[in-house]
Structure 1
Amino acid sequence: MVEGMQMREAAERILFAETLEEKLRLAPKAISDDAPGAAIATPERPGRPKELRIHAKGVRVDFPGIHRLDDDRERGVMLHFLANHELLAAELMALVLLKFPDAPKEYRAGVYEAMREEQMHTLMYVRRMRECGIEFGELPVNDYFWRIIAPMETPMDFVTRLNLTFEQANLDFSKHYASLFRQAGDNSTAAVLEKIYQDEIGHVGHGVKWFRRWKEQGGSDWESYRKMLSFPLSPARAKGLAPFNAEGRRLAGIDEDFIRHLEICDQSRGRTPVVNWFNPNAESHAMSGRYQPTKNELSLEQDLEMLVTGWCRKDDVAILRKPPSREHLAELKRAGFDLPELVTIADLRERKLGGLRPWAWSPDASALLKEFAGQMSPRVPWHWREASPAEWFSKVIGIRLEELLGLGEESGTICRTVDEALAAVERCLESGQALAKAAFSHAGRGHKRINSESPEEPTRNWLKNTIAAHGSVIIEPWLERVTDFSALYEMGAKGEVELIGLTVMDNDAAGRFQGSRVSPKWASMLDPEVAAFLHREAKVMKWYQEKIPAALAKLLPGYVGPLGVDAMVHRLRDGSLALKHVVELNVRMTMGRVALELLKKSAPNRMGRLKILRKDRAGDVSSLGGGTLQGGAVILNDPGQASEFLAVWEVM
């Protein structure tokens, strides 16, 4: 023991010294803690030499990829970044000792030993980066760790934020990068990272010990940990940008329940997250302010909300009514999905957001998301908005599009009385059969096929009840369907409309949606006769790349978001093919768009199919999944929780 030296004295030197030599002069291993002194207030920043002073807007330094690890300069850049982290950890541990003099002696002794090891880690990085041609302080440094951890109010805050979050993440990073450097032939850097990995296991273990001693008793470690964190920290920050290292966590004493939960946990690490919400009953909400969902409609919302994983990016947020089981999320991760952060409404309050993307801007979405209207930068494209006009959710909007395109002869008839509807039916029956569509129906539901043998009274009653509920019905000729397809668009803030892609829809004989097929080459999914007709005679791409986007921009002023135009190839009485350019227009997200986004996440140059199945008709559920994004089928929603519907994505 250094004569008369106190733990406080060593901590003050490490925290406040303004030369690197003083800060990194190793504190004595044996030291007295008899005079811890009075608690200090948190300084704005630690003492640093000029070239290492931390700034609120430090420059972000990206880690080099494996293909750059043999470059001395790139290795030095990464080591510089890591050295600053280790120095910050030492300074924060010194702050703990000075800020909480009354903490248990055993705890303080553990922090002190870890502080010495952080000094050693910094020294090792500094020496190694010099060998790579970079001096510590040559590059800018940031203060992220300091800003997040220094405001701690209790030692438990420190344990949670540093030991169980940032140091736990380093269990992934240090082990993985040590292996990469070994593979690249840089044994010196690998040895540094391997030493840090072993020490980090001890630091995390020290945190686990005191976390369990101080947390509320009765709850699991995982739940207690989640409750202790506040934004911008989340459990996802306890994972490094590297393969998940369960074994290192076990060695640190973390229990299996915590490890399994953490492995499937994700959150944005930089880009402000876009908030996504699945509200598939948008048409019904738009139809009536007194909407009461049926059991089937509630099942649709609750069973299929994990479809948001199809269009979400990894650093997005998805609002869920009921999160899937941990086991199902682990299965999706195994299949190759980068999951968004799964949250409740309460989790989003006071967070900075990057936009709002519900399935549709119907009244339910507008009401639910209104409280977040002020949490976004004016520069983001997807702001909160009032509910779209009700007509945009009805079959009427598709007829308006046909009129704009000069396709009036293809349009159905909008009927607001039973007599109007019956007259329109009679006109259709002169040349075949009629199809009646409820104005706010979707996915082929709410349709009625009428022929000359249809009983008059049930038909009249159906029309009467449907008009009373929907305000109108659309009557159109029944067509002999050959192929259903959909054109998917994205409309920007300036009214620009971009074709995202084309899908083939799988519908049953009544036109009810069952799934979507997608491929890098759309025509490859079509029957050769249909493909030849569409490209040579119907000039399909001119319509869907040029004419329809121009019309959509005029038809939907102010709209921003996804759109879908359903269309159909049908056969005329003479056996020739014809194109119904617009079967309906969906001013919202669609299943076809979800399928296209899933294809982007899957193995390249493969076809895909999204199917929506009735659970009671799906047979052996265990036989439906087991695949990955590289090939095979994956059940997207949790089959153990689903009551009626299953969503299956298959890569073919």
Structure 2
Amino acid sequence: MEIREAAERVLFAETLEEKLALAPATASDSLPGLAIAMPEKPGRPRELRIDARGVRVEFPGIHRLDDDRERGVMLHFLANHELLAAELMALVLLKFPDAPKEYRAGVYAAMREEQMHTLMYVRRMRECGIHFGELPVNDYFWRTIAPMETPVDFVTRLNLTFEQANLDFSKHYAALFRQAGDTSTAAVLEKIYQDEIGHVGHGLKWFRRWKDQGSSDWDAYRGALHFPLTPSRAKGVAPFNAEGRRLAGLDEDFIRHLEVSEQSRGRTPVVHWFNPAAESHAMSPRYQADKGVAALETDLEMLIAAWCRKDDVALMRQSPSRDHLAELKRAGFDLPEIASLDELRGRKLGGLRPWAWSPDASLRLKPLAEDVSAGVPWQWRELPREWFSKSIGIRLEELLGLSEHGLICCSVEQALAAVESLLPDAQGLAKAAYSYAGRGHKRINGESPPEATRNWLANVIADHGCVIIEPWLERVTDFSALYEMDSAGRVELIGLTLMENDAAGRFLGTRVSPKWASMLDPEVATFLHREAQVMAWYQEKIPAALATLLPGYIGPLGVDAMVYRRADGSLALKQVVELNVRMTMGRVALELLQKSAPNRQGRFRTLRKGKAEAADLAFGGSLQGGRIALNDPAAAREFIAVWEVI
């Protein structure tokens, strides 16, 4: 028998018996014939015709494997995949008659094995009470592989993607079925697993022969795939099986890259971008990040892993190292897909969510605006620049009816007069309007050199347009209330955190706990809950005011607050120190706490790299406990983000 004759029968026959009738183990390839065009669909009996609306199966967990019906439905789904693989291999033989004879012989042998796999599944599912064709069958394999233009496309899409993914699935489920006592199904999956090792190996052999010889296997593979196929499709929904890939001949570099490669498997992803200098970009459209801010942007980008959902996308300036991604995965993180702007163009997206919708984010993400699905909340936005100014916090205080709040000053004289009016001894705190994280603050008192103070105020007002003058308060406790505002204007309290600031109010870290009050000093806790009525402020009054203050806003918000001590020794609450219309480090800590072991506390810090090295901090913990470096200490330029589960 000729290879072409066997391939035509597998591809075009309209009865299952004909399609699965095995040709001889060896066949002649002396008459390969002319290349055929891709048919719209393979020949199938009516009940097995593939369709985009076919059933996709949620594979049963081990506690459901003893249900015959559930097993049969799963086997039906898998049998269709094996039949499609056989049909696609037949298509390769008919579409590329001039491919090397050795390659075609390997495809022919694999096609026969796919026929046998289908037969094994059909027999086993019948024993489970399901007949092949009883359920609709999906055409995904056909749609993504059949349009191939070269044999390399086939090798990349089927052998190195879908069949490689089956190295995970078949081995894992074979073990589960054997554990559940279903040795018959286990034996089928074990046989398929061994054959898939050979199929992947055959594809790899030819891929290496045909690829650019100057590229690594991994780089060449990534370059050969086209969306919607990505490397993450080469992993099954099962534990990653590195050993099976080694047996197939894949090298360690490929295996380690693949293990940390992620992409959405159905849910339309939200794109996240880390832009921590939002206030500076809002201050001036001509702002250029200095060396320190540029280091902050690149060093801490991986914080996105703290708040994004599984299958989301991290838009990054610099991709983390493979080894660090593997370390985060080992620690328990579900990694986002990491992509560039060009890689995202044209993909359907579930929304855009930067750290802040400041001008830099609006500019950066605008090219993706048309790709965002209609109806999702995370559309492209441009926010008023004053929402990033300290003045927005004062407006919140005014809405809340708080009489003791900072003053907005647009001249040096006005600022100095404000200091004198706030406190008789002329001690105050000046804040640059678009500063953040406690930077851009200056304490003004009688000991400050008058000329130096005037020069500082003049420079700040020239750059920021104004300066905020507040009384200098004796800090006792800094905390933050974190919110999420939806498209209907509802403001939900996500949680409260305890902030760690230095004496000047600069951010050092955040502590979080399932029970916020458990972290407070007893005196402070008693004051806040009995006298200050803290929860009434942060659960009721402030959310209502935020909805009024920020019409149309959707996203994260943070209200920093403070307990301070008056001159008479009593405690007082400053309900609003600052309002941040963006993501905050406190929100990062709360999101990390949600991912960590239950009933544990956590501490989030951003450390200077030199300080972390000097302290000889040991990493290697996980979300179950211990200390984790969220970004790669070896690659960090200046900053290391540390999460500790306590």
TM over 0.5: yes
CA distance in 2 between partners of 1:402 and 1:623 (Å):
41
Contact kept, 8 Å, 2:55 with 2:77, in 1: the verdict is: no
Tell me the residue number matched to 1:405. Answer: 400
Q: CA deviation at 1:623?
A: 2.9
Q: CA deviation at 1:578?
A: 1.1
Counterpart mapping for 1:72-83 below 5 A: 72-83=68-79
Tell me the residue number matched to 2:479. Answer: 485
Counterpart mapping for 1:460-609 below 5 A: 460-609=454-603
The change in CA–CA distance for 1:461 and 1:296 in structure 2 (over 3 A counts) is: same
Tell me the residue number matched to 1:212. Answer: 208
Tell me the residue number matched to 1:48. Answer: 44
Tell me if 1:340 matches 2:336.
yes
Q: Which moved more, 1:448-457 or 1:341-350?
A: 448-457
Contact kept, 8 Å, 2:619 with 2:627, in 1: the verdict is: yes
Contact kept, 8 Å, 1:435 with 1:478, in 2: the verdict is: yes
Tell me the residue number matched to 1:391. Answer: 386
Letter in 2 for 1:524: S
CA-to-partner distance for each residue in 1:388-407, whole Å, 9 max, x for gaps?
11110010000001111111
Letter in 1 for 2:559: V
Tell me if 1:290 matches 2:292.
no
Q: CA deviation at 1:60?
A: 2.1
Counterpart mapping for 1:163-202 below 5 A: 163-202=159-198
Letter in 1 for 2:416: L
Sequence identity, in percent?
79
CA distance in 1 between partners of 2:635 and 2:305 (Å):
17
* Partner of residue 450 from structure 2, selected from 448, 453, 456: 456
CA distance in 2 between partners of 1:622 and 1:507 (Å):
22
Counterpart mapping for 1:205-354 below 5 A: 205-354=201-350
Q: CA deviation at 1:509?
A: 1.0
Q: CA deviation at 1:431?
A: 5.7
CA distance in 2 between partners of 1:573 and 1:25 (Å):
93
Contact kept, 8 Å, 2:211 with 2:220, in 1: the verdict is: yes
Report SS of the residue matched to 1:381.
Answer: coil
Report SS of the residue matched to 2:370.
Answer: coil
Tell me the residue number matched to 1:29. Answer: 25
Tell me the residue number matched to 1:627. Answer: 621
Tell me if 1:131 matches 2:163.
no
Q: CA deviation at 1:621?
A: 7.3
Q: CA deviation at 1:278?
A: 0.2
Report SS of the residue matched to 2:371.
Answer: coil
Report SS of the residue matched to 1:633.
Answer: strand
Tell me the residue number matched to 2:87. Answer: 91
* Partner of residue 419 from structure 1, selected from 413, 416, 419: 413
Report SS of the residue matched to 2:201.
Answer: helix
Q: CA deviation at 1:330?
A: 1.2
CA distance in 2 between partners of 1:433 and 1:477 (Å):
7
Q: Which moved more, 1:522-531 or 1:212-221?
A: 522-531
CA distance in 1 between partners of 2:271 and 2:615 (Å):
31
Tell me the residue number matched to 1:647. Answer: 641
- Alignment gaps of 5+ in structure 2: none
Letter in 2 for 1:61: V
Q: CA deviation at 1:622?
A: 6.1
CA distance in 1 between partners of 2:273 and 2:36 (Å):
46
Report SS of the residue matched to 2:186.
Answer: helix
Contact kept, 8 Å, 1:429 with 1:451, in 2: the verdict is: no
Letter in 1 for 2:399: L
Report SS of the residue matched to 1:436.
Answer: strand
RMSD across aligned C-alpha pairs, in angstroms?
Answer: 1.1
CA distance in 1 between partners of 2:411 and 2:504 (Å):
24
CA-to-partner distance for each residue in 1:306-349, whole Å, 9 max, x for gaps?
11111111200001111111111111111111110011111111
CA distance in 1 between partners of 2:518 and 2:127 (Å):
56
Q: CA deviation at 1:601?
A: 1.1
Tell me if 1:156 matches 2:136.
no
CA distance in 1 between partners of 2:75 and 2:475 (Å):
64
CA distance in 2 between partners of 1:578 and 1:249 (Å):
63
Counterpart mapping for 1:434-453 below 5 A: 434-453=428-447
Contact kept, 8 Å, 2:271 with 2:313, in 1: the verdict is: yes
CA-to-partner distance for each residue in 1:94-136, whole Å, 9 max, x for gaps?
1101111111111011001101101111111111111111111
CA distance in 2 between partners of 1:426 and 1:517 (Å):
36
Report SS of the residue matched to 1:202.
Answer: helix
CA-to-partner distance for each residue in 1:338-397, whole Å, 9 max, x for gaps?
1100111111111111100000111111011111111021111101112x1111001000
Q: CA deviation at 1:25?
A: 1.4
Report SS of the residue matched to 1:374.
Answer: helix
Q: CA deviation at 1:441?
A: 0.5
CA-to-partner distance for each residue in 1:597-640, whole Å, 9 max, x for gaps?
11111111111111000111123576331101110010011111
Contact kept, 8 Å, 1:429 with 1:452, in 2: the verdict is: no
Letter in 2 for 1:160: T
Letter in 2 for 1:183: Q
Letter in 2 for 1:400: R
Q: CA deviation at 1:58?
A: 2.0
CA distance in 2 between partners of 1:432 and 1:185 (Å):
81
Letter in 1 for 2:613: G
CA distance in 1 between partners of 2:74 and 2:518 (Å):
46
Report SS of the residue matched to 1:623.
Answer: coil
Report SS of the residue matched to 2:32.
Answer: coil
Q: CA deviation at 1:535?
A: 1.5
Report SS of the residue matched to 1:353.
Answer: coil
Q: CA deviation at 1:67?
A: 1.4
Letter in 2 for 1:520: P
Letter in 2 for 1:143: D
CA distance in 2 between partners of 1:194 and 1:207 (Å):
20
Report SS of the residue matched to 2:44.
Answer: coil
Report SS of the residue matched to 2:552.
Answer: coil
Contact kept, 8 Å, 2:558 with 2:580, in 1: the verdict is: yes
CA distance in 2 between partners of 1:410 and 1:193 (Å):
72
Tell me the residue number matched to 2:13. Answer: 17
